[in-house]
Structure 1
Amino acid sequence: MTPAVQSQPEVAYQWMKSYIAALPREEETFLNEAVLAKSTGTSRTPVREALLRLEAEGFVKRIPHKGAYVPPISDPDVRALLQARAVVEKWAVMAVEAIPDGQLDALQRIIDLQAEALDDPARFIELDTEFHTLMVRAGGNPILADFYASLRQRQLRIGVRAVSQGTERARDVLREHLSIVDALRARSIQAAHGAIDAHLDSTRQAVIGY
């Protein structure tokens, strides 16, 4: 089967998302449309379409007469993000008895894919986001799921940074994800909450060091 050819807006979007994800979280920057068009091998029109999509997903902020702004992510931002994640993720697994085995199998498949992406930080963290998003959706609250999705760009940026210094942190993530799935399979809220807390605590230490 011939692979589907990506549209120019999709090419621009994927390139820019990867570029933003790889930026040091402490840095801020403006994205220039002309430079982006050259870098992505497209024109300004698909770049603008991609920027609108990235803005809707929270990756950039459009500032009149200046362009697309990528804000920094401070240490307090990281702590606040992880606190928000803890609230949502721990709530989502409160209904652990109702989570179908099929969803737990899907979580395991994502872990397996992550194991194959240890040398690709951006792909690894995209799968990480998939893992946690699926877990949150299992809670059955679409409003909380939408809120969790709004954290996506910050999760992607701090996550890529954390696993870009080698595979040690990525391997830790695999073990921590397995602990979460094992707790869910055991239908233990207490164990699931403990596994989530341990995972987010080690993420915080990997990102900000304390």
Structure 2
Amino acid sequence: MQPAQRRGLAEEAADRIREEIFAGRIPPASALREVELAASLRVSRGSVREGLAVLEREGLVRSVWHKGTHVIGLTESDIQEVYDVRGALDRLAATTAAAHASAEDLDELDWLVGQMAAETAAERALSLDLEFHEIIYRAAGNQRLLAAWHAVRSQVHLFQAHRIRLGHDYQDRVEREHRELARLIRAGQTKRLATVAEEHVHSARRALLAGLATPPEDQPPKS
């Protein structure tokens, strides 16, 4: 049986690497080398290996035999797959939550929307955004649906963080779109809610793809 401390180090390694990926300091498609990570984190290669396995289960990294481990890319195929799955999941979660959410759940959604409106840092707004959706999934009361959300949550976080770095309208939309979702869930308007929940996801996908297609101002377009 593994010592408890070793498992703790593996989880901490996963946390630190995940943070670096979300912050963009380890960019999409980057190679993740155990020796370098172990030296940087001051843990064993075994702890790094276990930590990377955690991130692979989250879909944040991929390991390929003889090619090593890499952060997932930002290809159109990756983006389409993740957002298609999330769109279907969010639609079901929102409509189910409308029937099962408690008064406390509804109040917390409204509170988070208020926090989004007051937040000036996009990275913090993203944390509130993900917390908002976590509450919806939990309020739905379906453990398998919640597990499916957790399977893509880290990938969604990475893609949304990159969308923010591209500067493509995230701050303009975050409070308005979530306020509408909270209102419809509280009102139990499931037909309209299903459409809005799915469009909320697909608009995020379109914004990310548009941002990727537009080169930064300080770089010339690709030939």
Shorter-chain TM range is 0.7 to 0.9
Larger radius of gyration: 2
Partner of 1:204: 205
| 2:39 matched residue in structure 1 | 38
Unaligned 5+ segments in structure 2 are: 1-7, 212-223
Structure 1: unaligned runs, 5 residues or longer: 1-6
Residue matched to 1:152: 153
Equivalent positions of 1:27-176 (< 5 A) are 27-95=28-96, 96-115=98-117, 118-119=120-121, 121=123, 123-166=124-167, 168-176=169-177
Instruction: Classify 1:117/1:25 alpha carbon distance in 2 versus 1 (closer, same or farther; 3 Å).
Output: farther
Greater shift after overlay, 166-175 or 87-96?
Answer: 166-175
Q: Distance in 2 between matches of 1:203 and 1:94?
A: 20
Decide whether the 8 Å contact of 2:21 with 2:27 is kept in 1: no
- 1:186 partnered with 2:149: no
Q: Helix, strand or coil for the counterpart of 1:138?
A: helix
Distance 1:31 1:118 in 2: 33
SS at match of 1:28: coil
Aligned residues: 203
Contact 2:27 2:71 in 1 (8 A): no
Percent of aligned positions that are identical = 27
Normalization by structure 1: what TM-score? 0.79
Judge conservation of contact 1:12–1:47 (CA < 8 Å) in 2.
yes
Q: What is the CA distance between 1:65 and its match in structure 2?
A: 4.9
Q: CA deviation at 1:26?
A: 9.2
| Residues 65 and 83 (structure 1), Cα distance of their counterparts in 2 relative to 1, 3 Å cut | closer
C-alpha RMSD of the superposition: 3.0
Listed one character per residue, the Cα deviations across residues 37-59 of structure 1 (whole Å, up to 9, x for unaligned) are: 33335443432332232223222
Give the equivalent residue in structure 1 for 2:178: 177
Q: Deviations over 1:148-195 (max 9, x none)?
A: 221123211110011124484134112111110011112211332243
Please report how far the alpha carbon of residue 36 of structure 1 lies from its aligned counterpart in structure 2 after TM superposition.
1.4
* Structure 1 range deviating more: 23-32 or 151-160: 23-32
Read off the aligned partner of 1:14 and give its amino acid letter. Answer: D
Q: CA deviation at 1:31?
A: 0.2
- Secondary structure of the 1:151 match is helix
2:161 partner amino acid: V
Q: 1:16 Cα shift?
A: 0.8
1:4 corresponds to: none
Does the 8 Å CA contact 1:73/1:154 hold for their aligned counterparts?
A: no
SS in 2 for 1:69: strand
Change (3 A) 1:159 1:187: same
| Equivalent residues of 2:22, 2:158 under 8 A apart | yes
Distance verdict in 2 for CA 1:25–1:111, change over 3 Å: farther
SS of the residue aligned with 1:61?
Answer: strand
